[in-house]
Structure 1
Amino acid sequence: MTTLHPISAPVGTDDALAWLNDEAVALRELGLHRDPVVRRPEATTVNLASNDYLGLSTHSAVMTGAQAAVEAWGTGSTGSRLVTGTTVAHIDLEDDLADFLGFPAALAFSSGYLANVGAITALAGRGDLIVSDTGTHASLIDGCRLSRARVVVVERGDHAAVRNALRERTEERALVVTDSVYSIDGEPAPIAELYAAARDHRAALLVDEAHALGVRGPGGRGLVAELGLSGAPDLVVTTVLSKSLGAQGGVVLGPPVLRSHLIDRARTFIFDTGLNPAAVGAAHAALGLLRADPSLPQRLRDNAHRLAAAVGAPAPAAAVISKIVGEPQPAVAAAADCREHGVFVGCFRPPSVPAGTSRLRLTVRADLDIATVDHVADIINASLRRVGVR
């Protein structure tokens, strides 16, 4: 039997990880250190930091859907999707999502992050071009980097620059990548113009609808559906089950040949354990609720507009409200003060946002009543005053 001995640093040398202490001190001084906020089941805090836009994560029907899936399949999918990780429930969810969003086919991944990375790296590689923008989510950025394609980054929303990059390329294949609704401030991207640019220059367009599903479009079908582009050629859509559907997971939608290609080529699908049954059951139940009550997205948007007006933030185009504070320290202090007074808000600082634009990121839900929205607005305003912001 081999005996394992602990490895110690050679005498007279520094700890190889000692630099982490200096890094931690520097981050704290800049107000950029992050600690996960631990939630407890008995907490009475009003949560304005989650992406549970429709309030379905605690809906009884959604929890029942999760429980039923666990009873049928157990707590885990037991393997990758290509081995034992695909159940009938996975296929039923994919078919229902594709039908709801107006696409021929869908493929579920175990997270939205993995869906984006898997789709991009399966669609572009060495010798190809990807055109992205400065507002894309980290998962899209990482997919671009891992693809090993040549990547051109343009300013957010600059579809003319996208056209120029596509027109001047030497590569045969090209992919344009964007969020449909930007995650930081909830503003929509110029999807119609980007799609036209891609089509005019023999490129495909990948749109991440994570913050649009359940929020924009007819019955919450997203911004792509709102623009009449669902199922359009050369268009790939990704979205998540972890926001408006209150569960976990990611999805890629497009033609059947895309689904087949991802099964063969997307490493984050091939080598990852399949989405767990509870998440599949919960997401499918939430989708049923959204189908049955298409007024949910409008209730969400009404609440968002009411809260934004009350705290002096720009009117939101989706569910996200950005209350810009400025420097990181007062933003952190305001968020902490809000928590102490019963409201959990998001706090975004560099590198998530540009320097000087640290902010409170607020997300209301469709299930909040007007009295609650007004109450949390009063708390947020009072917290901002207490830290000297207003």
Structure 2
Amino acid sequence: MELIEALDRELRRLDEQSLRRRRRTADTPCAPRVQVDGRAMLAFCSNDYLGLAAHPRLVEALREGATRYGVGSGGSHLISGHSRAHELLEERLAAFLAPNLEAARAMYFSTGYMANVGVLTALADRDADIFSESLNHASLIDGARMSRANVKVYPHADLRLLEDGLAASTAKTKLVVTDSVFSMDGDLAPLPDLLALCERHGAWLVVDDAHGFGVLGTHGRGALEHFGLRSPYLIYIGTLGKAAGVGGAFVAAHATVIDWLLQRARPYIYTTASAPALAHALLASLDLIDGEEGRMRRMRLQALRAQFHNSLALRRWKLLPSHTAIQPVVIGPNDEALKAAAALHEQGFWVPAIRPPTVPVGTARLRVTLSAAHTAEEVTQLAEALNRLERMN
């Protein structure tokens, strides 16, 4: 039992530091009003930014996809699992993003984690230099490590140090890797400046737009549309389980890049393809995102964000300056953030406390996420609860 006892000691240490993670179980579909562990809650914690996860059109499309293609794919994409639904989704994604990517093609992955690891390990090796943003998602950090490239981490949005590093690099292959929307702060990477540096120094710009796709841009094409970018140096990664409401992820880039990934991206090659029914449902999701309903939902989301900002009157806690659906309220100590989340839970609000190592020590926070499915009244209720709670502590 020594091995078990060693793990128990480490778990107790996490408890002492207020760092132990626990799960809650939702009994209802993803929505603002949910049943969690048998209790009715108002949720401000999902990444369902457009409120599509339980949309009737997507539910029907998933049913139709299962009827047409069955439940499982039966194999990896390169053996027997690449269905017509996968092919149609990739074609639709490439066409959707064509205004921002030259000779665009797309490749559908089972998860965003797999897409990020697949891109970095396929494009970089021991002789490559990867310049990684300090606030990048764990999947990008792991992908960079697994590539065995020389990884150089540059401070958040520090273009000067990044340019110095690119100028000094003698590597044949250089990649600048960044989130577009930083998932714990909600701010945007300076993508136009990053792209200019990459074009000047012959480097790929790998953009993980997990929290921007579907939300940013007039048509929901994400950060590239938001900034009006277009370049063959861009490699764009989008997540389809957040604003798109279903699951999986994709890489979109020049056709030659996608063909190389097909040869070398191990997380794509050596895994069973996702259910074709999911790809079929995602076709309906893209129609919604690109249509009038998607535009209206994006406008509503921005209105709710502005309302939340205007309704908060914090004195000690700090609302970070985010123009996205991610609205972090920084509290500081781990135990205080946990107590705040527990107090909100008692009042019927589901808001997670985010602690190190996900965020830096001393910056534990409540990560509030808004959805177009929220009502103005619900947002006001949360803001008022936060105002009261801060004054009580």
TM-score (norm 2): 0.92
Shift in Å, 1:70? 1.0
- Equivalence for 1:8: none
1:195: Cα distance to partner?
Answer: 0.8
- After TM superposition, give the deviation of residue 40 of structure 1 in Å: 1.5
Percent identity, aligned pairs only, is 36
Q: 2:362 aligns with which of 347, 356, 372?
A: 356
SS at match of 2:207: strand
2:309 paired residue number = 308
Cα 1:148–1:89, aligned 2, differ >3 Å: closer, same or farther?
same
State which drifts further: 232-241 or 98-107.
98-107
Partner in structure 1 of residue 106 of structure 2: 106
- The Cα of 1:170 is off from its aligned counterpart by 2.3
Counterparts in 2 of 1:84 and 1:385: CA distance versus 1, 3 Å: farther
Residue 328 of structure 2: aligned partner: 322
Distance in 2 (alpha carbons) for counterparts of 1:378 and 1:279: 39
Local SS of the residue matching 1:218: coil
Shift of 1:339: 2.0
Trace 1:33-52 onto structure 2 (pairs within 5 A): 33-41=20-28, 43=35, 44-52=40-48
Aligned-residue offset at 1:56: 0.3
Q: 1:109 and 1:385 mapped to 2: Cα distance?
A: 46
Q: Structure 1 residue 58: deviation in Å?
A: 0.8
1:273 aligned residue: 272
Partner of 2:127 in structure 1?
Answer: 127
* Kept in 1: contact 2:320–2:330 (CA 8 A): no
Q: CA deviation at 1:71?
A: 1.1
The amino acid across from 1:187 in the alignment is: D
Please give the residue correspondences for 1:115-264 in structure 2 after superposition, counting only pairs within 5 Å. 115-230=115-230, 232-264=231-263
Q: Which amino acid aligns with 2:18?
A: G
Residues 305-351 of structure 1: CA deviation (Å, up to 9, x unaligned)? 21233234244221100101111111112112222222111211011
Amino acid of the structure 2 residue aligned with 1:93 = L
SS in 1 for 2:2: coil
Q: Is the 8 A contact 2:175 2:205 kept in 1?
A: yes
How far apart, CA to CA, are the structure 2 residues paired with 1:64 and 1:58? Answer: 10
Q: Give structure 1 regions of 4+ aligned residues with deviation exceeding 3 angstroms.
A: 380-386
* Structure 1: stretches of 5+ with no match in the other structure: 1-13
SS in 1 for 2:352: strand
Q: CA deviation at 1:184?
A: 0.7
2:14 is equivalent to residue 27 of structure 1: yes
Amino acid paired to 2:151: V
The answer to whether the 8 Å contact 2:187/2:321 transfers is: no
Distance 1:321 1:202 in 2: 35
Give the one of 44, 54, 68 matched to 1:58: 54
**Aligned-CA RMSD value:** 1.5
8 A Cα contact 2:185 2:320, kept in partner:
no
In structure 2, list runs of 5 or more residues that go unmatched: 29-33
Write the distance in 1 (CA, Å) between the matches of 2:272 and 2:387.
Answer: 44
SS at 1:83 equivalent: helix
- 2:31 maps to none
Indicate the residue corresponding to 1:9 in structure 2.
Answer: none
Once residues 344 and 75 of structure 2 are traced to their aligned partners in structure 1, the CA distance between those partners, rounded to angstroms, is 42
Letter in 2 for 1:377: A
TM-score, L = length of structure 1:
0.92
